[in-house]
Homo-oligomer: A and B are copies of this chain.
């Protein structure tokens, strides 16, 4: 049925894992191991299949022992080239929703003594959860990832608490530099269940997104503990639960959830390079995540180390505040204009045109998921070749300005770079022209050798005066959070998070073919990693929520093909 080099990507329907089987032999081995437990039946086409360039595509549904599945299929010459299978819901534990006529009534008709109102029930439950009643799951981090997952868990009746150190949901966005807007367009960014209304701006400003997330936590009735930090977490292997200490607005509490989800940002812990002399600097030295904006630096000499998204955004913001700005580029970056991405990359799936063509958010997400990571570079390369031609003037200007750019090591662009290393690119919203015009000064192809009292010494021999140094030097792997909150031992046991193992820069092999440790079981029982952009958080939170619900309901979840651990962080 499959081509010899065919692909089967399964998201927890057969493997209770995120797994791409590459080659017919790997597929056979997987089926041999999982068929008995999965018992797939009722395969059906959903809608009509389509044929284009010799490839037949079709949407499918099927049932397994545990639930209902959805999938996507590509056939070439009567053989299966790619297959995606996903678990869509758990039989007997479907979400209550209008679509399956299972909304709650909201009120119990009739008259009852000692009836509690909705508000009283809510207040009672909130007072109990975490105190007299332990959550099944603790989610650390209340950004879009933690909130979307909590909403799905709420709908599945899985008791979960989200903790976040900030006073209000959305603050993680609000406190970033003032000019920040999403670089992904609105069609890509919907939260689960409540899409943005259709006048929402294409690129959400950070504070507006913050308000949306705050509203979301409220109306989805999430158990959100604001101003709460996780102090320490330890897994009790014997009792099969976590022992977690949190500080909630000053109060010290012990929680004992069965599962712990780190939704602390897929970017992980800020990466602070050790630069000789940094201690001697008398100006302000901070990581990009701590930089609040250019307002305080009017007329000052500012140096930004790095050349990816944050570095560009911060340079442009400082320039807008009349600072004297220098960017220090240490390695090449991918640069693509936002408009070009919209036109060539997002357009077919996430755009107004796609909406009008009937491509719902769910269909778009499933189609993205249907592309095996191995094939992605090959499929993405033509997009970037088209962009290169379309914006030839931009690239000529950058070249003349000495900016080192490329389209990824293998020309496959931003999406693969994002999956491989979570960075390495700038989605141009204006700063490239400032570099071309010399408004942002550029030192390229050099390293910072040392920081002096009020300047930096570069490997090209120059000394750059500086009142502010911003380290736009990226982030470590998410298991840095495991090291910080749990232990280095557990962080090592789990290994690197994110990255496919492509063997490109910052994505060391061996090839795994899925994002390491994300949304799927890890080598530490009860520990999960959740994160990524709004699209990934939206789509993959579905499978993480189903995995947690299955475990709560004691459904058998035999995990097939746990990936080996790789420590290279």
Binding site for B on A (CB under 8 A): 95-99, 101, 103-107, 109-115, 117-120, 122, 155, 178-179, 181-182, 186, 193-194, 197-208, 211-212, 214-215, 218-220, 316, 319-320, 322, 338-339, 352, 355, 429-431, 433-434, 439
Contacts and interface: CB of A to CB of B under 8 A. Distances in A.
Nearest to A119: B207
A106 B185 CA distance: 10
Contact of A198 (B97, B112, B120): B97
Contacts of A212: 219
- Majority secondary structure, A binding face: loop
Contacts of A439: 111
Top 8 closest pairs, chain A to chain B, by CB: A106-B201, A118-B205, A107-B181, A215-B215, A106-B203, A119-B207, A98-B198, A110-B430
A491 B512 CA distance: 76
Contacts of A114: 320
Contact of A119 (B99, B178, B186, B197): B178
A114 to B, nearest CB: 7
B208 A106 contact: yes
A235 to B, nearest CB: 33
Given A97-B198, A106-B181, A109-B338, 8 more contacts: A95-B199, A98-B198, A98-B200, A101-B352, A103-B186, A113-B322, A117-B179, A215-B215
B117 A201 contact: no
Contacts of A218: 211, 214-215
Count copies of this chain in the complex.
2
A120 B178 contact: yes
B199 A320 contact: no
B198 A193 contact: yes
A47 to B, nearest CB: 16
A194 B96 CA distance: 20
Nearest to A178: B117
Contacts of A320: 111-115
A338 to B, nearest CB: 6
A199 B103 contact: yes
Nearest to A183: B107
A352 to B, nearest CB: 5
B339 A109 contact: yes
A105 to B, nearest CB: 5
A202 B117 contact: no
Nearest to A95: B199
25 contacts: A98-B186, A98-B199, A98-B352, A99-B352, A103-B199, A105-B202, A106-B205, A107-B201, A107-B205, A107-B429, A109-B429, A111-B319, A111-B433, A114-B320, A117-B207, A118-B181, A118-B206, A118-B207, A118-B208, A119-B208, A120-B178, A197-B219, A197-B220, A211-B219, A215-B219
B104 A201 contact: yes
A199 B319 CA distance: 47
Contacts of A434: 111
Nearest to A201: B106
A201 B433 contact: no
Contacts of A119: 178, 205, 207-208
Nearest to A108: B430
Contacts of A316: 111
A436 to B, nearest CB: 11
Nearest to A106: B201
A326 to B, nearest CB: 16
A106 B204 contact: yes
A369 to B, nearest CB: 22
Nearest to A216: B215
Contacts of A201: 103-107
Contacts of A219: 197, 211-212, 215
A109 B431 CA distance: 9
Contact of A103 (B112, B200, B207, B211): B200
B99 A198 contact: yes
Contacts of A433: 110-111
A112 B511 CA distance: 44
A431 B111 contact: yes
A523 B378 CA distance: 70
A99 to B, nearest CB: 6
A189 to B, nearest CB: 11
Contacts of A207: 117-119, 122
B110 A199 contact: no
Contacts of A104: 199, 201-202
A136 to B, nearest CB: 19
Nearest to A355: B98
A200 to B, nearest CB: 7
Nearest to A177: B117
A109 B198 contact: no
Pick the most buried of A103, A194, A204: most chain B CB atoms within 10 A of its CB: A103
Contacts of A198: 97-99, 103, 193
Contacts of A179: 107, 115, 117
Nearest to A112: B320
Nearest to A434: B111
Contacts of A206: 118
Contacts of A211: 218-219
